[in-house]
Amino acid sequence: MESSQPERPINLMRGWPAASVLPTDLLTKASATVLSDSSVSTPALEYGPDAGYLPLRKSMSKWLSRHFNVEEDINRICITGGASQSIANILISYADSLVTKGFWVVAPCYHLVCPIFEDAGFAGRLRGVREDEHGIDPVELEAEIQRLERSERNAPDQPPSKDVPGRKLYRHIIYVVSTSSNPSGKTLPLERRTALVNLARKYDALLISDDVYDFLQWPLSRSSPLDWTPEMRLPRLADIDRELGVEGFGNAVSNGSFSKIAAPGMRTGWIEASPAFSKGMSMQGSTKSGGAPSQFSAAVLSVMVQDGSLEKHVNEVIRPQLRDRHLSLITAIQQYIPQARISASSYAGADVFGGFFVWFTVNIGLSTQLVAQAALKEGNLVIGSGGIFAVSGDKSGPRFDDKIRLCFAWEPVDSLIEGVKRLANLLDRMERNKELYQKTYTQSMGQDWVTANK
């Protein structure tokens, strides 16, 4: 074991965009545009309409319709306070502790989504559905749903615990990240997307798809132009639901955010779903009281979406940087941790990737939870151990104690490479001294550490 750690900390856990991709100049210009015209600034600084800032709804509808080749419909768009707040509000409006029987989460999962479900009153009821090489398997999910339905067959129906006028309560909630999933990076192929929507319709389920990485994909070759290929423009679950014909609320909602394509501090996002579903999102008591969330931020972002500067920034600044960082990290892992089992592509059979994370397997006979603790103490290195990406409360669900997640979006390339070197050296030491490391480090990791390094 090393007696001293490197002075320079490296954080390969933090899933934040680097400062170098934050559009500070664009935000400055857009803010000035909003504040310099009282006809714009006054409504931007007042309470907003319940469905959100109208110019942003219009401009996002245009951008999304062009990108995904769907018809424009602003009635499908509702502005939110970001993807996380949006999930909480979806659960307030469309799930109930007595009516909703199943809560299904892709496993491995985005680790901080579980507390959102738990805060909504569903602690201990989340069930993980393991990914295979193509992502979540609708056949396995249906088998689990049928098992639950059989156990509930003789249970009497209970009245809902709350009244939600203008909304509905679903029997099942299914959470996925359809494109470039966090942490695995996997993208669901079209046939699985269609199967999931049909399954949701069959079992009165709502598919919540975190679509926060849809605009952050790239070809794997450094020499390839950053053109959008068909594999990077797959229909969202909400698009498929729409194409199949929606009456009423539908069975899929696309949960979008500006956190990854603009700045997390703007605290603004959007949902796209059926007009009835989106209207229901705007009818919550907190929205009726406070007006649209992120009203001023939405006005600023609207300028950037309308004039095309945000899309240009995504394509000319964020995507090139992410590709460079991702390929640098993959190369370093292959060079310094050759025993790691890793998939470079998000979409099986296509040379594309997206998102912020690399997910791989190491087998040294010790839990990666121990590796993460040793990395912090001995290497001044923060990594994501696989165990924290298991679905919270699902005691019989999939475990990932041999997995590691590294983020390539936050640290610069030289730190990514140095971090992998430190990790490789540590893994070698730990494999040669298993008993010593097992005794030295406890197998507990506090939630404060996880939250602080999200």
pLDDT tens for 362-403 read: 999 999 999 999 999 999 999 999 999 999 999 999 999 999
Q: Does residue 315 have a pLDDT over 70?
A: yes
Name the helix (H) or strand (E) containing 61. Answer: helix 54-68
Q: Which residues of 379-393 are buried (b: 16+ CB within 10 A; e: fewer)?
A: bbbbbbbbbbbbbbb
Q: How far apart are CA 274 and CA 276, in angstroms?
A: 5
Give the pLDDT score at 160. Answer: 95
In this structure, are residues 393 and 124 in contact, taking their beta carbons and an 8 Å threshold?
Answer: yes
pLDDT at position 445 is 45
Pairing label, strands 341-342, 252-257: unpaired
The Cα diameter of the chain in Å comes to 69
Residue 38's Cβ-count burial label (10 Å; 0-12, 13-18, 19+) is exposed
Q: Can you tell me the mean pLDDT for 335-339?
A: 96
pLDDT at 417 over 90: yes
Beta bridge partners of 270: 79, 256
pLDDT digits (tens, 9 = 90+) for 261-282: 999 999 999 999 999 999 999 9
Strand partners for 141: none
Alpha-carbon dihedral angle through residues 126, 201, 275, 109, given to the nearest 10 degrees: 30
For residues 409 and 17, the answer to whether their CB atoms sit within 8 Å is: yes
Q: Where are the alpha helices (DSSP H) in 314-367?
A: 319-336
CATH of 24-307, picked from 2.40.50.140, 3.40.1010.10, 3.40.640.10, 3.30.390.30, is: 3.40.640.10
| The model scores a pTM over 0.75 | yes
Q: Is the pLDDT of residue 447 over 60?
A: no
pLDDT in tens, 213-240: 999 999 999 999 999 999 999 999 999 9
Does the pLDDT of residue 136 top 50, yes or no?
yes
Q: Give the domain ranges of the chain.
A: 10-21+311-442, 24-307
Q: Would you place residue 443 in the very low, low, confident or very high pLDDT band (cuts 50, 70, 90)?
A: very low
CB-based burial, 133-155: b 16+ in 10 Å, e otherwise:
eebbbbeebbeebeebeeeeeee
Least confident of 121-125, 343-347, 382-386: 343-347
- The CATH number fitting domain 10-21+311-442, selected from 3.90.1150.10, 3.40.50.10470, 3.40.50.2300, 3.30.70.20: 3.90.1150.10
CA distances to 6, 31, 86, 162, 378 from 439, in Å: 23, 55, 43, 50, 15
Average of per-residue pLDDT values in the chain: 94
Query: Distance between CA 365 and CA 81 in Å, rounded?
Result: 43
Token pair of 416 as six digits: 């990514």
